[in-house]
Amino acid sequence: MLRHLYVQVIAGALAGVVVGYVWPDFGIELGPLGIAFIKTMRMMVPPILFCTIVDGIVLHGGAVRTGTTVFRALIVFLAITVAALLAGLLVVTTLRPGAGLSLPPTPPGAVDLHHQLSGTPIQGAGDFLLRMVPETFFSAFTAGDILPVLFIAGLVGFGLLRLGEAGAPISQGIRILAKLQFAIVGFLLRIAPLGAFGAIAYTVGAYGISFISSLGWLVATFALACAGLALALLLLVGARTGLSPLGLLRYFRDELLIVAGTSSSEVVLPRLMTKLEGLGAQPAVVGLVIPLGYTLNLAGTAVYLVVATLFLGEALHIPLPPERIALYLAVMLVTSKASAGVIGSGFSALLLTLSLLPDVPVGAAAMLIAVDRLLSTLRALTSGVANISATLLVSRWNGGQLSLGLPLPTPETAE
């Protein structure tokens, strides 16, 4: 059993809880282990996205078909985001996790460590456009944003289509480069248990189990909203494709557990794409929808924005009438995409939302950092399920035949 990666991740997480509880100071010092692992995996995301998007465009063989797939993906993404906002609203207004709660200040040092994994949110449509266009062709891969990579990948992909047979060697080289990157990520995933150990030891050591448990009702509310959305998406996929929701959860078990241990869905990107193709999803669809989903289908962030904003308003005794909540939902439909340029920055999206509609003080969001590791895990899991669901739905919409009976991909076949 210990040879299974998901078992090792669970063991690392449990060890982190013990170390953070028994030796809290030492647990805090282990925080950089989790940060370093996630940053190592993020290092691989831009080149992987570039290669998979270019390969997806070339495999489609034409701009018309590529445009159709992207258009269908955007429709699915929009529907999922609306469903996520409504799910969060329904659960948070029913359970009211912030009623009667008094939040203490954030422990020293926690903000600095959190900022190691955050970045500058997108400030409106103009900033979105400017950040999409890199300063130079190669700076798209060094700036730390995903948007310029998508822009460059689209240009290269359609440029190769224009070249035709003359561009075949370049297309083949990009495909081989993608396989090399997948192999490298396979090596790096071996240290996922160490990353989970450090991240959870820091969380427990910095805030303590007792304080974190005082915000347990918020975490439970958010978890219920995320679980409801994930279940609805899996049932929809089952109805459209015939794939069993439980079968899908078992099929992606390893990936979901790695996400849970590291609070990052980016670390399983290559494995996720390989397994989706193993279900029968067209490689061209996977190569387009999954990368787009990492920027435009952040369902977990959408749920988080609703739950966190209403929780803070209630905890701080700030009334939000129905018309004001409706305005928040309209803004969140946009700001839930505000972390598109910064992977995993749902917290930054919350800061942007509170800045645009200052009913709830922006500074109040700092109170959530104590449990943001847990909330980040739920965000990543929900977004992961949403991207899996969106890819399977678009693949079925394109006429693909999906089945859980196909052979499960192995590391060797992934490489």
Confidence of residue 342 (pLDDT cuts 50, 70, 90): very low
Identify the pLDDT of residue 394. Answer: 93
By residue count, the chain amounts to 415
- 1-10, 137-146, 321-330, range with greatest mean pLDDT: 321-330
Q: 0.75 exceeded by the pTM?
A: no
Per-residue pLDDT band at 89 (split at 50, 70, 90): very high
pLDDT > 50? residue 410: no
In one letter, which amino acid is 273?
Answer: M
Q: Is 339 helix (H, G, I), strand (E, B) or coil?
A: coil
Alpha carbons 75 and 393: distance in angstroms, whole number: 11
For residue 101, the SS3 value is coil
Instruction: Decide if 343 contacts 380 (C-beta within 8 A).
Output: no
Q: Residue 113 carries which side chain, given as an amino acid letter?
A: L
CA dihedral in degrees (213, 218, 223, 229; nearest 10)?
180
Angle, helices 31-60 vs 283-296, to 10°: value is 130
Distance of CA 413 to the CA centre of its chain: 25
> How far is 23 from 395, CA to CA, in rounded Å?
49
> d(Cα 148, Cα 144) in Å, to the nearest integer?
9
- Nearest 5°: phi and psi at 44? -90, -15
8 sits in which H/E element: helix 5-22
The packing angle between helices 283-296 and 269-278, to 10°, is 140
Q: CA angle at residue 323 from 322 to 326, to 5 degrees?
A: 85
CA-derived radius of gyration, the chain:
21
Q: Which residue has the tokens 């192995």?
A: 410
Tokens of 406: 């196909």
Domains of the chain, with CATH numbers?
Answer: 5-414 (1.10.3860.10)
The pLDDT of residue 82 is: 95
Beta-strand runs (E) in 141-262:
none
In terms of Cβ atoms closer than 10 Å to its own Cβ (0-12, 13-18, 19+), residue 210 is exposed
Task: Specify whether the backbone of 99 is left (phi greater than 0), alpha (psi in -120 to 50) or beta.
Answer: beta
Tens-digit pLDDT profile for residues 252-304:
988 888 888 777 777 787 788 889 988 988 888 888 888 888 777 889 989 99
pLDDT tier for residue 236 given thresholds of 50, 70 and 90: very high
Question: Per-residue pLDDT for 345 more than 70?
Answer: no
**Phi, psi for 142 (deg, rounded to 5):** -120, -10
Rounded to the nearest 10°, the torsion over CA 234, 237, 239, 242 is -110
Q: What is the phi-psi region of residue 338: left when phi exceeds 0, alpha when psi lies from -120 to 50, beta otherwise? A: alpha
Mean pLDDT of 164-174: 87
Whether 281 and 401 have beta carbons less than 8 Å apart is answered as no
- At 351-384, the pLDDT tens digits run 778 877 778 887 677 667 667 777 888 998 999 9
